[in-house]
Amino acid sequence: MKKAYPRIVSGCGIVGIMNEKGNRMNGDLVIRAMRVMDERSNGLGAGFAGYGIYPKYRDYYAFHLMFDDEKSEEQTTQHLDRNFYLQKDEAIPTKPSPQIGNAPILRRYFVEIKSDMLSGDGTTADDFVVRNVMEINSKIKGAFVMSSGKNMGVFKSVGFPGDIAEFFRIRDYDAYTWIGHGRFPTNTPGWWGGAHPFTILDYTVVHNGEISSYGINKRYLEGFGYKCTLMTDTEVMAYLFDLLLRKHNVPIEIACLALAAPFWSHIERMPEKKRKLLKAIRMVYGSALCNGPFAIILGHKDGMIGLNDRIKLRPQIAARDKDMVYLASEECAIREICPDPERIWSPKAGCPVIARLHF
């Protein structure tokens, strides 16, 4: 008989750890932080993302993929070979675990775009990679791209965070930013591709909560060529950040205001200059507004962001200590790895915590 789990609407545990000078840290830190929040998971999904883990291949896009069978693996390899130079192709190292069953085929590809693939129509290298990720996820049955950024990678599956860390040998990696997630799904299926983090290029999102605006966000993104195929609301968050930060070159602070905008009634009481700005953001990016309870951590090549919904229906704690920045669902996760930080606080609703690399 399967074990019954109660519905914990405030569940899911998230952690972000970053060194602002770019010094790399062993994966043991994020494992320890996640393990003290095990009760926030129910074994239906967890994962990790690390930045700076592939210094030898830092200039190549690192595709992490999972395949249901050899046919989907072969089709995807052929697809990549048509569009990219394959610098290295290998199985993602794993350690057999009785807690992790029904594992798909897991491979990573370090690739460079073929020179004749970028025409003069304004398509950038990143645009080309995004297009290929969408094609693989939507057109090759049984194939799924876990991550596609440079010098970073995502490792995720069905299971508890500690077991997944052992399975993917997270301690073997060193990163300047670590992101962790332990899932407690309440209205979406638990499957390998649906575990967090969700990514596109180097943008990585872990999420606690629910995006009730998913339908509007999804239709908005589809107008820009994104395809949401992963059966979970969190997927839109990664694509929205890619659209605003990379495609539209919107400053981080403005992007966060678009995704977690203040209520109209609050905007009307603000000073004129700020009121005009927020009205413009809400009018231009109204379909990017994310409704519902959420706390997210976004990792990217240049930093890390923590963000709550506009009335803070999910917990998030932040801390700083020298060059280190920490984000977590619970204070205990931070104090497990930094017992006495210089500053620790609970960010206000809709107010982002922004960490940037300085090196």
| Residue positions annotated with a catalytic role | 12
How many Å apart are CA 306 and CA 295, to the nearest integer? Answer: 7
3-state class (DSSP) for residue 144: strand
How many Å apart are CA 247 and CA 203, to the nearest integer? Answer: 13
Rg (CA), the chain: 20
Residue among 299, 65, 60, 57 nearest 176 (CA)? 299
How many Å apart are CA 283 and CA 53, to the nearest integer? Answer: 40
Residue 349 to residues 2, 207, 311, 325, Cα–Cα distance (Å): 38, 15, 5, 19
How many Å apart are CA 93 and CA 143, to the nearest integer? Answer: 18
Neighbour-count burial for 99-131, b at 16+ CB within 10 Å, e otherwise: ebeeebbbbbbbbebeeeeeeeeeeeebbbbbe
For 30, phi and psi rounded to 5 degrees? -70, -30
Peptide bond into 197 cis (omega under 30): yes
Number of other CB atoms surrounding residue 90 within 10 Å:
9
Helix, strand and coil percent figures for the chain, each rounded to 5: 30, 30, 40
Q: What angle do CA 318, 190, 179 make, to 5 degrees?
A: 25
How many Å apart are CA 99 and CA 55, to the nearest integer? Answer: 31
Residue among 94, 89, 95, 93 nearest 108 (CA)? 89
Number of other CB atoms surrounding residue 312 within 10 Å:
18
